[in-house]
Amino acid sequence: MKIVIGVTGASGAALAAETLRQLRAAGAETHLVMTGGAHIAIAHELGPNAAAAMRGAASFAYDARELGAPLASGSFGADAMAVVPCSMRSLAAIAHGFGDNLLTRAADVMLKERRRLVLVPREAPLHEGHLKAMLALARMGAIVAPPVPPFYTKPQSVEDIVREIAARVVAWLGLEPGEAMTRWQGAPGMACEGD
Ligand SMILES: Cc1cc2nc3c(=O)[nH]c(=O)nc-3n(C[C@H](O)[C@H](O)[C@H](O)COP(=O)(O)O)c2cc1C
């Protein structure tokens, strides 16, 4: 599968790196787009060499200023795209059709071509404008999935949380995340008092 991964300047660079790692393990062809803000956040959270390592982990990598890159067009034919993590700036731009850089343009292409778009917005708390943008995107068919940990997996480390969230992004993109994702097996006998 041909997957576009957009990385913005929101907190959560580790989620992007892990999503790329899992996509590679799943055999996807990955097209990575990083904004200028992403480079700042990645360097701050993961270190000065992390952005280069992420570019190396992708099949193809682009700067968000490269508006002439193939993924700016519907004819590129990506199967799905995730923006992970997604800043409120990029979220708003995508919600309102601002194709002002390669990341927001590629996301706009996914929406107009009715292809799968997974957004992982990271901000807290959220104001009305953020929520309105998410509602608009959900109505346009995007999967809006904030990076909320599945605590029922009983994570022991930050790495566990990052792996589980990334695995869900991979699954929403339409790929099999394999052992990276712990699935709820059900809990026989678990019931609410009074039901
Ligand atoms: C270390 C760091 C963490 C940030 N975290 C967030 C965040 O979680 N959410 C957010 O919306 N913006 C966050 N920002 C601000 C964005 O990087 C900024 O709004 C930027 O213009 C986003 O542009 P982009 O979407 O083109 O990357 C953060 C900035 C820095 C430097």
Tokens of 41: 């956040």
Give per-residue pLDDT as tens, 146-186.
Answer: 999 999 999 999 999 999 999 999 999 999 998 888 998 88
Res. 28: pLDDT tops 70: yes
For residues 34 and 187, the model is more confident at 34
pLDDT of res. 195: 62
pLDDT band at residue 21 under the 50/70/90 scheme = very high
Atom of ligand 1 nearest to the CA of 38: 27
- The CA 188 to ligand 1 mean position distance, Å, reads 43
**What is the pLDDT averaged over residues 53-69?**
96
pLDDT of res. 87: 98
Secondary structure (DSSP) of 8-76: -SSS-HHHHHHHHHHHHHTT-EEEEEE-HHHHHHHHHHH-TTHHHHHHHHSSEEEETT-TTSGGGSGGG
Is 143 within 8 Å of 118 (Cβ atoms)?
yes
- The CA 76 to ligand 1 mean position distance, Å, reads 28
Is 3 within 8 Å of 83 (Cβ atoms)?
no
Helix (H) / strand (E) element for 34: namely strand 29-34
The domain locations on the chain are: 2-180
**What is the pLDDT averaged over residues 105-132?**
98
What is the Rg, in whole angstroms, of the alpha carbon atoms belonging to the chain?
A: 17
- The CA 96 to ligand 1 mean position distance, Å, reads 18
Distance CA 10, CA 84 (A): 8
pLDDT of res. 140: 98
Q: DSSP state, 139?
A: H
Question: How large a percentage of the chain has pLDDT more than 90?
Answer: 91
Give pTM, 2 decimals: 0.96
Query: 2-180 has which CATH code?
Result: 3.40.50.1950
Q: Which amino acid is at 43?
A: A
Res. 52: pLDDT tops 80: yes
Residue 3 φ/ψ, nearest 5 degrees: -120, 130
Is 133 within 8 Å of 107 (Cβ atoms)?
no
